[in-house]
Structure 1
Amino acid sequence: MAVQNWRILIFSLVCMFFMSTGLAEAKGKESETYFVDVTAATLWSEPNHLREVDKPSASNPVALRKWTGTMTYEEKLGLVGKLETQALYGSEVTIIEEDGDWVKVAAHNQPTPRNDLGYPGWMPKVQLAKGNSYKNQLNRPFALITSPTAWLYEDKQTSEEFLELSFNTRLPIMKEFKNEILVATPSQGKKWLKKSDAAVYQDEKDIPAPTGQDVVNTGKKFLNLPYLWAGMSGFGFDCSGFTYTMYHSNGITIPRDSSVQATHGTPVEREDLKAGDLLFFAYEQGKGRVHHVGMYVGDGKMIHSPNTSTHVRIDDIDTSGYGEEYAGARRYIEE
């Protein structure tokens, strides 16, 4: 009987050892940083919610134009509430949960009260790269894509296309030439950009402080771009993804969602509005929950990405369909 007890004790200790080792590994994995390895990773509210039409968005590489271009209005409407956000090529995420081939990540630099690490959502793990060598290059100057979309190329002559990138993508610079930039990628080594598609900065602080009009002018690049729920790229924006990206590309990080954007910055009275101020709209004739945001352009007008049925456009505030829901404004740039 004593021998049997010793066997049980030894077995228990061995199990405890492997369990503690596994927990330590899992805990370590949760804190590991990965990098988005596709043009734009789409984050879902739950894993494995893909419809057949969504498969081009979940592969590596992705086919975002095919995905957004082949969906019917009803299929696009079906994304509402099922998508969380998007994260661009080369951006950092932290894995916080796993479910088979899917991982729940926090997308860095997308502030939200939902997670201190960044905006949370599920994505296929195949769209991520560990990118150890890439990570070592992040202290270098970087190229920020300023065209609505731009190609990465295999060669300096920019004749062989590798991957189409979104506006606001940032990649470390390995070498700079007169007309081209050699950049690092998360998993595919060095590739080439046309210098005309990007701005070069030493670090984030080197991005010039914008005026409100600068941010508005950035937004005008995307007029007529179709709306995409949770969109954060030059292939489609939702309302707060649009305002977030226009500010972020100008060196200012604001919260990801309109309801949170509405609680930061400086409150502004309607008669004092300036270009670049964010305008908020809420249910119950402006007294309920904030559900939409636009950017003031002047003359009583705003630029915004309204809803699934339309595109980025400039509307008169009062006749935009949101006028009766006006809930206030916030200023993120003090000039």
Structure 2
Amino acid sequence: MTTLPDRRLNAYRPDLAEEALRGTVPAERYVTGTPARIAAPVAALRPRPDLAAGIDTEVLFGETVRVLDRADGWAWVKSDFDGYVGYVAETALDAGGGAATHRVAVPRTFAYTGADLRTPAAFALSIGSRLTVIGESETRGTRYLTLEGGQSVVAGHCLDIGATAGNDYVGVAARFLETPYLWGGRSGFGLDCSALVQLSMMMVGRTAPRDSDMQAAGLGRPIDRADLQRGDLVFWKGHVAIMEDDKTILHANGHTMSVAREGLDAAIERIGWLYQQPTGYRRP
């Protein structure tokens, strides 16, 4: 029996597939897609073009995608960041402008209509959002970056596009404490367990797959529970947590509906009755 590629990371339908899959999956035609950029603060990526469909993941302001198809107000896209495939509203896209020069480095911030915190906020931005800055100014001692759309963002909330937020991804993860849990969420406004891992690693220049099963299968190497230390990962079926130290975890979870800190032993006992024991431990 032929095993088809993972649909989360491979774009194919009976009528259309990405060019890279030619010879691997059957389709009426194959396309390379056209580049586009996310113009909404956060864009939901869905498994089908239907607002009633659950969210698989999200793409952030300024991230780029390849558009494989457009129809009925939806775009079928593949993320350039992690390769995830799905449908976004066409209104969330633009054709792109200048190259990104900066990235939001705090969990949440605002893009203001002017270079002054007293001006109205045009929209909110999540950590990881990619910005194209065309200028800067200072108002009452606060420096602002001017975006190509004319809005202004506090400079102290941003990093140059090539810079990282240090090298401790666990410290980044701790900044999300009390952020609401959102199934499929991948932003500072709401996120799920595997997005907490992926976003935190992204901010320190490391890469991680999007979903917990992908992370459990190939992120780092397996270790024994007795060897757990800060930065290691604990996996259950459908869930992942980050070790803050050898006894404490950080995780976005449906129990508190937030990113929370919890003792590992207590979490294993609490989770066990419904999801059984951890399936593995890894050092990324």
TM-score, with structure 1 as normaliser: 0.68
1:258 counterpart = 2:212: yes
How far is the alpha carbon of 1:151 from its aligned partner? 0.6
Higher Rg: 1
Matched residue, 1:221: 175
Query: Where does residue 124 of structure 2 map in the other structure?
Result: 164
- How far apart are the structure 1 equivalents of 2:49 and 2:125? 25
Give the Cα–Cα distance (whole angstroms) in 1 for the partners of residues 93 and 233 of structure 2: 33
Residues 1:180 and 2:143 are matched in the alignment: yes
Give the match for residue 87 of structure 2: 122
In structure 1, runs of 5+ residues without a counterpart are: 1-25, 51-78, 111-117, 283-290
Aligned with 1:269 (options 202, 219, 224): 224
**How many angstroms apart in 2 are the aligned matches of 1:94 and 1:181?**
31
Task: Report the equivalent of 2:39.
Answer: 37
**Counterpart in the other structure of 2:79:** 107
Runs of 5+ consecutive residues of structure 2 not aligned to the other structure: 1-28
Match of 2:109 among 150, 155, 164: 150
Q: Say how many residue pairs are matched.
A: 246
Deviations 1:51-96 (A, max 9, x none): xxxxxxxxxxxxxxxxxxxxxxxxxxxx7xx221000011101112
2:240 aligned with 1:293 = yes
Contact 2:181 2:254 in 1 (8 A): yes
- Deviation at 1:177? 5.0
- What is residue 281 of structure 1 aligned with on the other side? 236
> Are the aligned partners of 1:229 and 1:308 in contact in 2 as well (CA < 8 Å)?
no
* Structure (1 or 2) with the greater strand fraction: 2
- How many angstroms apart in 1 are the aligned matches of 2:40 and 2:165? 28
Letter aligned with residue 102 of structure 2: A
Please say if 1:86 is aligned against 2:88.
no
Task: Please give the secondary structure, in 2, of the residue aligned with 1:330.
Answer: strand
CA contact 1:228–1:308 (8 Å) conserved in 2: no
Hey, what does 2:26 align to over in structure 1? none
Q: CA deviation at 1:174?
A: 2.5
Contact 1:47 1:99 in 2 (8 A): no
SS of residue paired to 1:325: coil
**Higher relative contact order (CA closer than 8 Å, sequence separation 6+):** 1
Q: Residues 14-40 of structure 1: CA distance to partner in whole angstroms, max 9, x if unpaired?
A: xxxxxxxxxxxx977x52111111110
- Superposition map of 1:240-255 within 5 A: 240-255=194-209
Greater share of residues in helix? 1
Aligned-residue offset at 1:215: 1.6
1:319 aligns with 2:266: yes
CA distance in 1, matches of 2:159, 2:72: 39
1:39–1:164 contact (8 Å) kept in structure 2: yes
- The secondary structure found in structure 2 opposite 1:305 is strand
Q: In the superposition, relative to structure 1, how do residues 150 and 273 fare at CA in structure 2: closer, same or farther (>3 Å)?
A: same
8 Å CA contact retained: 1:149, 1:234: yes
Sequence identity, in percent? 27
Provide the rounded CA distance (Å) in 2 between the counterparts of 1:208 and 1:235.
Answer: 19
Question: Structure 1 residues 103, 252: closer, same or farther in 2, change over 3 A?
Answer: same
Show the counterpart of 2:251.
Answer: 304
Q: CA RMSD in A?
A: 2.2
Label 1:312 to 1:95 Cα distance change in 2 as closer, same or farther (>3 A): same
